[in-house]
Amino acid sequence: MIPLRSRMLAATVLSIAVALPVAGQASAGPDDTPGTAGAATLTGTPEPPPRPAFYEPPATIPSTPGTIIRSEPATLLLDPLGLSSSVVTATRVIYSSTDRYGTPIAVTGTVFVPKTPYVGTSSRPLLSYAPGTQGMGDRCAPSRQMSDLVEYEGVGLARTIGRGYAVGITDYQGLGTPGTHTYMDRRAQGAAVLDMARAVQDLEGSGITDANPVGIMGYSQGGGAAAAEMAGTYAPDLQLKGSAVGAPPADLAATVENAEGGLLGAAVLYGLLGQAQSAGIDLDPHLSAEGRDMAADVEDHCFLELADYAFQDSSRYLSGGATVTELLATEPFESAVAQQRIGRTRPSAPVVINHSVGDEVVPYAVGKQLGSDWCDKGAHVSFNAGVTPTHVGGYVPHIEKSMLFFEQRFAGATPPSTCWAL
């Protein structure tokens, strides 16, 4: 286990290193980094006020990832998770993490700690929960939707909290905080998930320390957060026992090609905006006049509000008549997308991958290939092929299979590897 002092030293060295110019970064100013004070959106469109003061990052962000910047009790509108303050403590947090380039940023999220004792052979487990696609607007952050609307991830959260696990769910970079959300940036998303686990440990009164067992869980965007394969190098201090990933978009190019023009077409637009923001690409020359209006519209809405973008030909939004799939196959997008490929590093703990054969958004072949890639690198992988049709339909089975996986891992057992079948 790496002590806190060593983590602080490493983070300080990292923050000095990333102060140097980085090729491909749009600009070096801190105001251009989502998750920092004063960050602007990709389209330059002001984010609708008012942003709650809690979500404003401080001028100086702690260089130690996972440090709690501030916290407050979290309110749940009509208790949408089916929980009660008598059985669980809910806390909204803003904590330090790092972006794609290692720059310190502020990320928000919510921490749930059951008040009932955990019944198991280990100390209370901690799950760092990576949410699926929420949208691009600040109000789409899970921590805000749980207060203002109903967060669909409540299905999985209620299941894990009900079992007695402490749970931290991140909002990711730029979702809630200033700047454009770096949708599907594997490095930033993975760091946000891992640093959320550290933040729970740092949260006063959580009862969770660096000795508690940790798990990572996510579906779709959450399944592609890449925290599983980053943990060994980025957060070796965590007692990671395993990761449960569902429908992981490990190959972003193949996922976009499969999803484009379909029911969840808005996610394709998120991918385009997220990659442009993350890699510092000027998107304006690639958009038509209608596309510029689209980009500003998408940045201000949540996923379930963008039905108008379903079953649309994306070429209408791009200059030159190209589709998003075709655009992503050209530079500088092709190199940016290639860097998002997951499966090139061996996870440091066992992994279960749950993926429905009938997934119409993230190809089943992509999830299976990820399992094969990890197996080839010596990882312990259990792959579950689901039969429930559609991407959305695979969500609940993923939750139940993940619960079984974690029960085994936290009890000290390991499910059989299925690498032989991949």
CATH number at residue 213: 3.40.50.1820
Give the range of the structural domain holding residue 148, as residue numbers without chain letter. Answer: 4-17+27-251+344-421
Residues 113 and 144 in one domain: yes
pLDDT number for residue 1: 38
- Backbone torsions φ then ψ of 73, nearest 5 degrees: -60, 140
Buried b (16+ CB within 10 A) or exposed e, 144-183: bbbbeeebbbbebbbbbbbbebbbbbbbbbbbbbbbbbbb
Domain count, the chain: 2
Do both 314 and 180 map to the same domain? Answer: no
Residues 358 and 247 in one domain: yes
Separation of alpha carbons 158 and 385, rounded Å: 24
Tokens 């070096």, located at residue: 28
Average pLDDT over residues 204-229: 94
Helix 265-279 and helix 289-298, axial crossing angle in degrees, nearest 10: 90
Per-residue confidence (pLDDT) for residue 28, from 0 to 100 = 31
For the chain, what percent of residues have pLDDT higher than 70? 90
Per-residue confidence band for 16, with pLDDT thresholds at 50, 70 and 90: very low
Highest average pLDDT, of 70-74, 82-86, 313-317, 319-323, comes from: 70-74
Q: Do 309 and 328 reside in the same domain of the chain?
A: yes
Summarised one tens digit per residue, pLDDT across range 372-403 is 999 999 999 999 999 999 999 999 999 999 99
Residue 22 included in any domain:
no
Same domain, 256 and 387: no
Same domain? 50 vs 193? yes
Residue 18 predicted with pLDDT over 70:
no
What pLDDT is attached to residue 151? 85
Task: Give residue 81's pLDDT band: very low, low, confident or very high (50, 70, 90).
Answer: low
Amino acid letter, residue 312 = Q
247 and 259 belong to one structural domain: no
